[in-house]
Structure 1
Amino acid sequence: MEWIAVVLGILLLIALAGLVLLNQQRRQLEEILQEAQRARRELEAECDRMAAWLEGLRLGGTEALLLLDQSRRILWANRPAMEQLNARPGRALPEAIPSLELETLLETTGTAEIRWRDRWWLATGWTWPRGYGLALVDITRQREAERARRELTANVAHDLRTPLTTIRLLLDELKPAEPIPASWERLTRELDRLIQLVNALLDLARLEAGEWPLAYEAVEVRPWVQGWVERFAPLWQARGLKVHLDLPEGLRVWADPEWAGRALGNLLDNAIKFTPPGGEVRVRAWSEGEWVAIEVADTGPGIPPEDLPRIFERFYRRDRHRGGSGSGLGLAIARHAVEAHGGRIQAFSEPGRGARLVFTLPAA
């Protein structure tokens, strides 16, 4: 009988230990449940705050706004997103909007234009603590207006080029005997400027429309840049400027030498024009992995901060307050030529300390 009592005692101790263990596990489960509920409340509050902020945005056009979790499942979407894109909460983004551009955009958290359902959208992505945010603005009408503007510019420039060229030829035939009057020289000079402007308008319209195929080849940077610097030698020598080159041997780019050269030439022309007599223009190049960067710097007055964001816009002239000449198309053409190669162009400056313009081309 004693051994039965011992066994019962052991079983009782085991049962008590089990109850204690179960009680501890129950408390742990309760704590885990409370933590999960707290996390859920925080997530809901974060979603509500983000949704309220997004609803307050007014970007113009149709604004589709979404919040995604880390797995890119839609947590929240406003009415335009649900009505225009069928992007409803609970759906995975690739199911709602199957777009490789959007997938790439979320990885880089930048801005890109995408085409979806016969509309053009300007998409902007960003990150937040629980995942990703996405805003899409319908820019179809803006793109159509831009296309109409390009066509009008190209048509007008094309219609002007033939009569202007004819007038220039007639002027050459009617050239007076020596000494040539100053008024005649001024007339031909202004006519040449007008012809250059018309040609620049045509070039810009074709570049913007992507109608100018690029003839890519491996270009040796050093002789290519030196050739363009020599083209401008009469200009910088007449102003008494010094030109310094820092171009490594063996550096090559994969580019259209003429169109990439147009970009470089416009930067050189800009630097020469804004550098006072006796100043310096520096041109250097260096490798940046899969890209090659080329910089044109001057010792001129620099670019005012309010002009920096706009100097690559067409017809924008940063020297307008000083009465300088120029069509305002050179830097716009440079930007489109560089972007046609997949590169980017930037301007850096401090007033009174000159300006640096840098663009990139694919490395060969």
Structure 2
Amino acid sequence: MRIVASGFLSRAEPGTNRANLTFPMALSLSDGTLIATLRAGPEKDTASDRIEIYRSADDGATWTGPDTPFVSPAVEGKGGSLKICYLTELAPGRLIAAAMWIDRTTYPGLPLFNADTEGCLPMAILLADSHDNGVSWSGWRHVPMPAEIGPPSLTSPLLKLADGRLAMSIETNKPYLDRSKWQQRAVYFHSSDQGQTWSAPVTVAEDPTGRIFNWDLRAAVGPDGRIASFAWTYDSQTSTYLDIHRRVSTDGGLSWTPPEAIGVSDQAARPAIRRDGSVVLAWVDRFGTQSIRARYAPAIDAPFSPDSEVVIYTHGAGEAASADTGDMLASMDLWSFGLPFAEVLPGGDVLVFYYAGEPKALDIRWARLTV
């Protein structure tokens, strides 16, 4: 595997509401074009965050945009901002957007994550529909969550399953002032009516002792219908990152293989699963080499060969992880690269998107990989 091209989806504009660009994603549409979203704001977490849309007709070499069709609504009477927006193609021309909304009213001016309690601001998951490839959108609709979920984190685009159902990957969190032990878990919700209603949650990853956290499950569906999910795995007792763990489901996320360490640690990208079933997985190594890398596996459940590894981005000298989970998570606002997201192009190459730069100017960049 090698890098054959690289560039920028969008450049930061320091000192403006576009100084920090993060949370990139892209979707290859049935008509051969690409549509991408990112989150823009003056800093990494602000009440003025907004979602931008970009398009490419040449496999990501050049982009048009930004368009800003999404307005953050009030949810249950509270004002807030959109943090993440993932797109899924339901049929040619028909898209569904899934967004994570942050309540900026209940605790005004406070950061998303409370390092003291390990709780999060109130959050909500919102959905919208488009029937013209994302040119225009319906209003947002709120997805109700059971109280046990707490503030919900959206960790992947909605998955279109082989039987036509949708699956939504959600991570549980604690309320902002909750000082109880964090019993973190990741769950799936399923919809049989294209996102109008959703099932009860099904647990995907959980440590009953509460010691091991399975964060940011990044997932995709293979050509044979199997789902591969990759967890950012953290030991809260030793404050260390474990290997990324892979889980595979053959029944749409109702049951999963035991978690399997893949040989590299830190935060996984959304995997790119190619038409032949092979997988390109990028990941962030913040505390070792301070780089973004990628490896190749010939099948959804096959090993990722170290010989296939490519370095997509190198930032600088390594940084030690904090010995405190809350402090470590709060420091994410200071990290100046990460959140890779991979998408397969029609010809089989893979685009990996990520943010990088310096705290006052974070760009969205891309690298094109060929296998």
The TM-score bracket by the shorter chain reads: under 0.3
Q: Which is greater in Rg?
A: 1
Structure ranking higher in strand proportion:
2
TM-score for both structures, normalised by structure 2: 0.24
- Larger relative helix fraction: 1
